[in-house]
Amino acid sequence: MKILIIGAAGMIGRKLAERIAKDGVLNGTAVESAGLVDIVQPSPPAGAAFKVSCQAADISDRGVAARLVAGRPDVVFHLAAIVSGEAEQDFDKGYAINLDATRYLFEAIRQEHLRSAGGYKPRVVFASSIAVYGAPFPDSIGDEFFLTPLTSYGTQKAIGELLLADYSRRGFFDGIGIRLPTICVRPGRPNLAASGFFSNIIREPLAGRPAVLPVSEEVRHTHASPRAAIGFLLHAARLDTEKLGARRNLSMPGISVTVGEQIEALRKVAGEAAVARIRHEPDETIQRIVAGWPQRIDARRARELGFTAESSFEDIIRVHIEDELAGKIA
Amino acid sequence: MKILIIGAAGMIGRKLAERIAKDGVLNGTAVESAGLVDIVQPSPPAGAAFKVSCQAADISDRGVAARLVAGRPDVVFHLAAIVSGEAEQDFDKGYAINLDATRYLFEAIRQEHLRSAGGYKPRVVFASSIAVYGAPFPDSIGDEFFLTPLTSYGTQKAIGELLLADYSRRGFFDGIGIRLPTICVRPGRPNLAASGFFSNIIREPLAGRPAVLPVSEEVRHTHASPRAAIGFLLHAARLDTEKLGARRNLSMPGISVTVGEQIEALRKVAGEAAVARIRHEPDETIQRIVAGWPQRIDARRARELGFTAESSFEDIIRVHIEDELAGKIA
């Protein structure tokens, strides 16, 4: 079992590599090697019993993808992306990485497939996003709701999904696209992403630090933990894709809660002192951006196919405490 | 008013140019010039009172689009495409024309927009297709049904729609994508397209010739005449796009009828003798292909926005007799 992870230096890529190193197997088969690629050199995961090669590469450079897949990895995780805010700010860069590089990768796999006379047909797991949806939304977004992204990032992800479905239908590879909900609690320092507060208001108080809440407590959103996201990727790598038919892109499950419910969960898990560290400081810009985001994702198909996420926001908080804080809260 | 028609040698492009030549105006403004482009040199429409330039050009050649839009046309009709069957057979050619060339065109317009410091922002009318939909379908396909194309052609059109929406949202041009239903009655000789019989069973008997029906009379499909299709394009060119919001791609209306109802309409318009020229000759391959096509398109949004099509299949037959047969039937 040879694995390739593109975007291996990001939060999800790093955790995925760590998990695979710990497991030593993927889809019940021993891992023989893992290639980790990102625009900056990824770090090898601790304790891998298999060969790990780490390289920095710009996948928007047309020749790079062919080199990455020349070793014919059995499973390719494509997680690399220019994030929403940057893709909006730098139109060309967003299209170069999120669209062109994705197509170069798919095309390089196709060329390898053709060279192997059809014998090479890897599983491709593509990290898409609920940013493929654009307001106005129904109360809950069903599996057949259409994609009308309101950002260039969402547009590029939606195009990636279409390409993945077509390349799979044609038999060049065996692809599955998974739309990740907002990942919460994100580890690390607060960042400037508009969605950052969803994590900040949990992570910072748990660490004894103050956090700012820029929206009202009525705001509703769908979340899954980083651990659940890794679970989605691994399940996507082993799923019997016959069950997907031609519809190979799926919204992942998550728990839909209001910010008020997030805070209530924090109170239950960490007490009043933690909640007291949250300062309400309304920010109109962030409120406007967040108003355009999906509130509830139905994700029935994904659940039926065995994708699982936390069933309460308290569980999401507990996952953070276990995985990032070694069980200790401030 | 300067117009550019890409794909001007095709059936729709030719009729569009003829109609604009006849009208002399577009959106209430006198037409000053029209550029007609296709992979083969288009013919100039008869009687145009404005300047017409016709050129053969391969739009999948990266430099071509910049030359085409250098004159800053006010309205660009992008109709050029590799059709469904050929795009399925020749994967690279389909992607080169239907995806790459579309993106080169949009990008060339963006560059012209940037060079003009934002002053140049043409209307772009993109001919999409109901091939963006893939089975299984609901009984009637609503405006919010998702796009899961089952052909490379449909995939490429869906990607064109996403690009058009994003370039429009960013303000580079003012785009609208219209999904054409099956155009019936297509003039000319019977062709090998799987959908050809929908037109053959009307056009051939009206001309006194035999026609083959390869599917059962229960098969249901949605149709609009070539005249209605030109009406869609002209309405799309003048529509107030503020009304579209961010959702710039629309399924066009049509009349949903069974093949049996088509034949009944032929009987009413042209009598028993015409109907007797249809020979039932079931073809399993065509039956299977057609089973994957949409039966009914709701098109409520398009109707509300003023797009109109025929309200009976008899009208569609009468349009053919008027526009193609000078009012005479065999």
pLDDT tens for residues B11-38? Answer: 999 999 999 999 999 999 999 999 999 9
8 Å CB contact of A155 and B165: yes
8 Å CB contact of B149 and A162: yes
pLDDT digits (tens, 9 = 90+) for B154-213: 999 999 999 999 999 999 999 999 999 999 999 998 877 788 999 999 999 999 999 999
pTM for the full model? 0.96
Rg (CA), chain A: 20
* Arithmetic mean of pLDDT, A264-278: 98
The residue behind tokens 């939060």 is: A11
A134 contacts in chain B (CB < 8 Å): 246-247
8 Å CB contact of A162 and B150: no
CA distances from residue A169 to A116, A144, A159, A172, B91 in whole angstroms, order as listed:
18, 19, 15, 8, 12
Question: Residue A113: left (phi > 0), alpha (psi -120 to 50), or beta?
Answer: alpha
Return the H-helix or E-strand segment holding B249. strand B249-251
Q: In this complex, how many residue pairs, one in chain A and one in chain B, have their CB atoms less than 8 Å apart?
A: 54
**By the CB < 8 Å criterion, does A246 face chain B?**
yes
* Arithmetic mean of pLDDT, A141-155: 95
8 Å CB contact of B166 and A155: yes
Rg (CA), chain B: 20
In angstroms, what separates the C-alpha of A145 from chain B's closest C-alpha?
5
In chain A, positions 150-169, which contact chain B (CB-CB < 8 Å)?
150, 152, 155, 158-159, 162-163, 165-166, 169
Question: What's chain B's average pLDDT?
Answer: 96
Annotated catalytic sites of A, by residue? Answer: 153
**By the CB < 8 Å criterion, does A51 face chain B?**
no
Residue in B159, B169, B247 closest to A159 by CB: B159
**pLDDT band at residue A318 under the 50/70/90 scheme:** very high
Q: Which residues of B142-180 are buried (b: 16+ CB within 10 A; e: fewer)?
A: ebebbbbbbbbbbbbbbbbbbbbbbbbbeebbbbbbbbb
In chain A, positions 76-105, which contact chain B (CB-CB < 8 Å)?
91
* Arithmetic mean of pLDDT, A56-64: 97
In angstroms, what separates the C-alpha of B185 from chain A's closest C-alpha?
31
B155 contacts in chain A (CB < 8 Å): 162-163, 165-166
Return the H-helix or E-strand segment holding A129. strand A123-129
Residue A262 to residue B174: CA distance in whole angstroms: 41
- Whether A298 shows a pLDDT value over 90: the answer reads yes
Q: Identify the pLDDT of residue A292.
A: 83
Q: How far from chain centre, in Å, is Cα B195?
A: 14
B166 contacts in chain A (CB < 8 Å): 149, 152, 155
- Whether A193 shows a pLDDT value over 80: the answer reads no
Residue in A145, A148, A163 closest to B247 by CB: A148
Residue in A145, A159, A170 closest to B162 by CB: A159
In three-state secondary structure terms, B214 is: coil
Q: Which residues of A235-247 are buried (b: 16+ CB within 10 A; e: fewer)?
A: bbbebeeeebeeb
Report the residue of chain B nearest A250, measured CA to CA: B148
Question: What's chain A's average pLDDT?
Answer: 96
Q: Identify the pLDDT of residue B289.
A: 84
**By the CB < 8 Å criterion, does B142 face chain A?**
no
**Strands of A123-129's sheet in order across:** A51-56, A33-38, A2-6, A75-78, A123-129, A174-180, A249-251
Q: Is A118 exposed, middle or buried (0-12, 13-18, 19+ CB in 10 A)?
A: exposed
- B interface mutation test: which of A100, A106, A146, A249 has the most B CBs within 10 A? A146
- Whether B216 shows a pLDDT value over 80: the answer reads yes
The residue behind tokens 């994708």 is: A307
Q: How far from chain centre, in Å, is Cα A44?
A: 20
Residue in A147, A155, A163 closest to B147 by CB: A147
A170 contacts in chain B (CB < 8 Å): 91, 152
Delineate the domains of chain A, giving CATH numbers in brackets: 2-182+225-251 (3.40.50.720), 196-222+254-324 (3.90.25.10)
Residue A47 to residue A24: CA distance in whole angstroms: 10
- How many other β-carbons are positioned within 10 Å of the β-carbon of residue B253? 23
In angstroms, what separates the C-alpha of B147 from chain A's closest C-alpha?
7
Nearest alpha carbon to residue B90 among B29, B16, B153, B147? B153
Q: What percent of chain B has pLDDT over 70?
A: 100
**Is the Cα dihedral A219, A224, A229, A232 positive or negative?**
negative
8 Å CB contact of A149 and B155: no
Proportion of chain A in helix, strand, coil states, percent, rounded to 5: 40, 20, 40
Q: Which value does ipTM take for this structure?
A: 0.96
**pLDDT band at residue B142 under the 50/70/90 scheme:** very high
**Is the Cα dihedral B24, B27, B32, B34 positive or negative?**
negative
CA triplet B132, B135, B136: central angle to 5 degrees?
140
Q: Identify the pLDDT of residue B267.
A: 98
Residue A246 to residue A170: CA distance in whole angstroms: 10
**pLDDT band at residue B291 under the 50/70/90 scheme:** confident
Residue A123 to residue A251: CA distance in whole angstroms: 18
8 Å CB contact of B246 and A158: no
The residue behind tokens 């000319």 is: B188
Where does B255-312 have alpha helices with state H? Answer: 259-270, 272-275, 284-291, 300-304
Q: What percent of chain A has pLDDT over 70?
A: 100
Residue in B91, B149, B170 closest to A170 by CB: B91
Q: Which of B104, B120, B133, B153 is catalytic?
A: B153
* Arithmetic mean of pLDDT, B117-142: 95
Residue A15 to residue A19: CA distance in whole angstroms: 6
